[in-house]
A and B are shown apart, each in its own frame.
Chain A
Amino acid sequence: MIEFKHTTKEFKSGNNTVRALYDVNLMINKGDIFGVIGFSGAGKSTLIRTVNLLEYPTSGEVIVDGKNLVNLSKKKLREEKKNIGMIFQHFNLLNSKTVFDNVAMPLSLDRIKRKEIEKRVNEVLQFVGLEDKVHSYIDQLSGGQKQRVGIARALVTQPSILLCDEATSALDPQTTKSILELLKRINEEYKITILIITHEMEVIRDICNRVAVMQNGEVIETGDVFEIFSKPKTETAKNFVKSVVHDEIPDSVYEQLQKSEYSGRMYKLDFIGVNAGQPIVSQVAKRFDVDVNVLFGTITELQNTPFGNLIVELIGEEVEIARAFEYIKSKNIKVQEVTTHEGELTDHHRCDLGNVIHG
């Protein structure tokens, strides 16, 4: 559990005072995978560093597992840090040492017996899938493997909290996926609370259960990932959501509509926390005398629930189309006809969105 209470951090450079954090209040519960998203310079790096006191807050408190680390003696603080693992964007591994020695490092700082160190290091390397790289040097590894070493090093002291500082930002999308899966496994199997800062909404979408959006050192929005994705309040949050869920109707759809010979009707279906996706499409096609043609769509998964939208074309008798429309509506799916009045639709669509989410 991590609790930020009115946490503020200022940096002084000459006569200038730069406020990196301002009055941050956040509660990260045990077992959370909590994401903090923001553009660079939003203060998220500073925020994560106040948890293990790489940065001391100027005012306010950061409570980790019930303790305010600022009040601890140096010795106690070092002890407490073993309970907080951290991984970094650029891995920060020692090139002069092997994978084994890198992972063993946190243990070798204490007087732990060689046998015990070996056992723990091998265990954790197996967990991250690097048991065959024990004796390799860091520069012989790929980016993803390096981050796995970083993760192994963070886990070797059996912490209850893992801090991830842009842990996937230096990795390609494929490797990012595999590292995120590993983080999820750590959360599930070891019950480790994860605090992750990122500028990639994909990271939030893929593994976080709660999220905070930061801007100019302040938390401007916070809530369940689902909540933020379905009804983002601030412009920044909306932009982040848009970066992974495209809810704009593509021009090609409008072009199709504008053709004079076009006779079908188009609908936009928004899936927000309902069981849907393919079944609804096939059900409509089966139950009613209409053909369903999927034109466009983005369906993504948020905490095992589909989330996104589909644009479909219904072709058939007016009556049948109307019945199908009512049927879709009855399934708690927000459905709306796409017309040529582009602006109107978009606005209407936006303000309606909120009401349907928990329907």
Chain B
Amino acid sequence: MKVSSQIIIDAIWETLYMVSISLFFGAILGFILGVTLVVTRKGHILQNKFIFGVVNPIVNIFRSIPFIILLVAIIPLTRLIVGSAIGTTAAIVPLVLHIGPYISRLIENSLLEVDDGIIEAAKAMGASPFQIIRKFLLPEAFPSLILSVTTATIGLIGATAMAGAIGGGGIGDVAITYGYQRFDNTTILVTVIILVAFVQLIQSIGNVLERRLRRVS
């Protein structure tokens, strides 16, 4: 059976669906974890040995599990959350758990780039820890955060290719099941071109946004 253009179009939608939904939840999770990792570390505004000591290894654990393993390992959890362990929606749960910790590390790096002097100035003017995060750290790190999310999105597209293992569908799945397993080089080429186009587009959007925010012409 040859690949119809309908299959490709459906796959594109599936990929977009998985990427956007898991990016949304993954970004929320990553944001919370990333900010926590920064502000609870030693010497920071909400220094807390216990919280940092719990969050930091958890993030490391999730970062070190290969996605294909994670996909299968958390099937019970997936079933609990979305009611089924197979399908495109089911793939979103492992994708979020995969990309969230990844985003948290990127966000952590972006926030740590902010000059300590900014925090000192904020403290000197009597800002509360919450205000320091919201009015000083985040705005200063924002351009860098955009680049982080761009990187994460591209990583996420790669991860969706494996979602086929649990019937998630998507472009990567088409490449494997139609292209690789049936020796259909044309399909592989087409899917790869689509993926490259995706990545290029997302990276370009990210770069343009970041440059705008930094007011670099």
Contact = CB atoms under 8 A, between A and B. Distances in A.
Interface of A: 52, 54, 77-82, 84, 86, 88, 90-97, 105-106, 108-109, 137, 139, 153, 157, 163
Interface of B: 115, 117-118, 120-121, 123-128, 131, 135-136, 139-140, 142-143, 213, 215
A92 B140 contact: no
A108 B131 CA distance: 10
15 contacts: A54-B123, A81-B125, A81-B126, A86-B124, A88-B120, A88-B121, A92-B117, A94-B139, A95-B140, A96-B139, A106-B126, A109-B125, A109-B131, A153-B125, A157-B125
A108 B125 CA distance: 11
Looking at chain B's contact residues, is the secondary structure mostly helix, strand, loop, or mixed? Answer: helix
A233 B13 CA distance: 81
A323 B44 CA distance: 72
A144 B140 CA distance: 22
Contacts of B126: 77-82, 106, 109
A106 B125 contact: yes
Given A78-B126, A82-B125, 12 more contacts: A52-B124, A77-B126, A78-B128, A81-B124, A81-B125, A88-B120, A92-B115, A92-B118, A94-B118, A94-B139, A96-B140, A109-B135
Contacts of A109: 125-128, 131, 135
Contacts of B127: 78, 109
A80 B126 CA distance: 8
Given A88-B121, A105-B135, A94 B140 contact: yes
A106 B128 CA distance: 11
Given A52-B124, A78-B128, A82-B126, A108 B117 contact: no
Contacts of A153: 121, 125
Contacts of A91: 117
Contacts of A108: 135
Contacts of B117: 88, 90-92
Nearest to A101: B139
Nearest to B117: A92
Contacts of B123: 54
A157 B142 CA distance: 27
Contacts of A139: 215
A356 B123 CA distance: 48
Nearest to B142: A96
B122 to A, nearest CB: 8
Contacts of B125: 81-82, 86, 105-106, 109, 153, 157
A78 B126 CA distance: 4
Contacts of B128: 78, 109
- Per CB-CB distance, the 7 closest pairs between chain A and chain B, nearest first, are A81-B126, A78-B126, A92-B117, A92-B121, A86-B124, A106-B125, A96-B139
A108 B135 CA distance: 9
B144 to A, nearest CB: 11
Contacts of B215: 137, 139
A84 B131 CA distance: 19
Nearest to B124: A86
Contacts of A106: 125-126
A74 to B, nearest CB: 8
B146 to A, nearest CB: 12
A196 to B, nearest CB: 15
Given A94-B118, A108-B135, A54 B140 contact: no
A137 B123 CA distance: 22
A172 B143 CA distance: 31
Contacts of A79: 126
A221 B135 CA distance: 42
A139 B139 CA distance: 15
B135 A54 contact: no
A137 B143 CA distance: 15
Contacts of A157: 125
Nearest to B141: A96
Given A79-B126, A109-B127, A86 B121 contact: yes
Nearest to B131: A109
B35 to A, nearest CB: 17
